[in-house]
Amino acid sequence: MSRRLSIGVLGCSAIARRRTLPVMLGLDRVRIAAVASRSAERAAEYATEFGCTPAGYDEVIERSDVDAVYICLPNVLHDEWTRRALEAGKHVLCEKPLTGDATQAKNLTELAVTRRLVLRENFAFLHHPQHERVRELVAEGRFGELRTLTASFGFPPLPETDIRYTASLGGGALLDAGVYPIRLAWSLFGDGLSVLGAALRVDRRLGVDVGGQALLATPRGVLTSLEFGFQHTYRSRYQLWGSSAAMCLDHAFTPPPAHRCPLDIEEQDHSERLMMPAVHQFERSIDSFVDAALGGYAPETERPWLSGARETARLAEEIRAVATILPGEAGAA
């Protein structure tokens, strides 16, 4: 555990530049070895900024000095390059979602198990302790019998050139914003969620969904309403409503590192506000991945991550399959 994890980077995304790579650069246990992009100029730019070598995709996963690969490519490329990295014997941290295809997710997670390699999606919010506190409150019966989860993640329209508006690259609100509340629902309730119905607003000109909602249910009948999109004022929150109390957690998915999120609890004749701790969830996500990769493959530790990836892909696929399609425009707020 004293050695450094050497990471190769596939892709030069905005999230990598703003969040993930600066965190990696600041960790003593991490070495960024190489970065690849479809554009040689962009790879050279990132390599200069983060002190590594520009390279091609194949070169990164074939390098003997690369222990793990961070994949921040467009969604449509996640399956191919995750598979190729695992086949090359590299641990993989993939930006969310791993894939929106249930069969692909199953094949990738099984390959990781067979090769005894760490495979994780970079859902940074899962590493924030505020969600563990919510799970503790649920387990303690603080809300009575849970009846409803409502989770929302949305933000204003993106620049017209943003790849999330490009159908051929796997764009769309469901796979970018919608997977957050989907993964939250799984983290709270586990396997067995079923899709009861959904609607997607689709920009016909672009061929991508720009917003939507889905109604899910747990095996015990807890209704789960998920809201997401690119046509909204910013919202990042979820609410639990039970037989004896309700709660709301704001800034749930993307809190700034110094922000303490309020968790508000309401009962019939009582209200309470709990202030959640401020943590750097991207740093915790990378730290956790590095621990797992350097510590050696541990099935009991990695099993939840693989199950979560499979269920997120399955639910996203089912939502798309059953959704009623409504008209929408990419730039319409």
Q: What are phi and psi of 241, to 5 degrees?
A: -130, 115
CA 204 to each of CA 155, 178, 218, 229, 325: distance values in angstroms, whole numbers, following the listed order: 20, 19, 33, 16, 10
- Our CA angle for 135, 136, 142, nearest 5°, is 100
Answer whether 223's CB lies under 8 Å from 148's CB.
yes
DSSP-derived 3-state class of residue 184: helix
Query: Cβ(310)–Cβ(102) under 8 Å?
Result: yes
Say if residue 299 is preceded by a cis peptide, omega within 30 of 0: no
Strands 146-154 and 235-242: antiparallel
The DSSP result for 274-306, as a single string, is EEPPP--HHHHHHHHHHHHHHH---HHHHHHHH
Which residue from 238, 204, 235 is spatially nearest to 222, judged by alpha carbons? 238
Q: Considering the candidates 96, 120, 131, 320, report the single residue annotated as catalytic.
A: 96
- Position 107: which residue type? N
Q: Residue 79: helix, strand or coil by DSSP? A: helix
CA distance 254 to 270: 29
Q: Catalytic annotation on 90?
A: no
1: CB partners within 8 A, 6+ apart: 291, 294, 295
Maximal C-alpha separation, the chain: 63
How far apart (Å, rounded) are the C-alpha atoms in residues 132 and 281?
13
How many residues in total does the chain contain? 333
Pair 223, 242: CB distance under 8 Å? no
Catalytic residues: 96
